[in-house]
Amino acid sequence: MPRLFVAIDLPDPVKDDLTELCYGIRGVRWVKREQLHLTLRFIGDVEDDLLDTLSDALGQVRAAPFSFQLQGVGQFPPRGAPRIIWTGVKAPPDLKRLHGQIESVLQPLGIDPEDRPFSPHITLARLKEAPASESLRQFFGRHVHFKSAPIPVSRFVLYSSLLAPEGPTYTVEGQFALT
């Protein structure tokens, strides 16, 4: 039973820039460079026989290519002990429309809509325990003005994820061009 999500891949220079941000906080698990992506929709575990149907549905999404920028850093939840450290996405309307189209083709397949608003971001680190507040303040202070060059988007990807103690392994299950 594959665990699936839909994402936008990031160009290598952007992954390089993000990797340079990932230091200075003890006890966090930084996301590996090759796994940095913008999640459009986490689907979760699905039956094997639904994979082809999902790919067909995602192939019906029609959207024009666009670009977006990364901007700033933050944490989830926004207050209290962080569980995720992220860089934000300056989301153009095209990104939100793409997300909405993906939601609309998944719902007829019995995949419930997400129960929280779409909050585009790139996860940089996951935390099991809260690090020293001083190291968090220093990290956020160092990167508060982080901003990427525009990132062109010409496709999105359906991934499966295999969880393991050393971290997940992602496999491309389908790629969908924006035209």
Domain ranges of the chain: 3-177
Per-residue pLDDT, 131:
81
Alpha carbons 119 and 88: distance in angstroms, whole number: 9
Q: How far is CA 64 from CA 2, 116, 128, in A?
A: 29, 25, 39
Per-residue pLDDT, 7:
98
Per-residue pLDDT, 80:
85
Per-residue pLDDT, 106:
97
Which segments of 46-177 are extended strands (E)? 66-76, 84-90, 121-127, 151-153, 155-162, 169-177
Active-site option among 99, 121, 143, 145: 121
Q: In a structure prediction context, what are the per-residue pLDDT tens digits for the chain, which is 179 residues long?
A: 889 999 999 999 999 999 999 999 988 999 999 999 999 999 999 998 899 999 999 999 999 999 999 999 999 998 888 999 999 999 899 999 999 999 999 999 999 998 889 999 999 999 988 887 899 999 999 999 999 999 999 999 999 999 888 788 999 999 999 98
CATH architecture, domain 3-177? Alpha-Beta Complex (3.90)
Active site residue 145: no
Active-site option among 37, 99, 143, 145: 37
Per-residue pLDDT, 130:
80
Per-residue pLDDT, 27:
84
Please give the model's pTM, rounded to 2 decimal places: 0.94
Q: How far is CA 47 from CA 51, 53, 106, in A?
A: 7, 11, 14
Active site residue 143: no
Per-residue pLDDT, 79:
86
Per-residue pLDDT, 132:
77
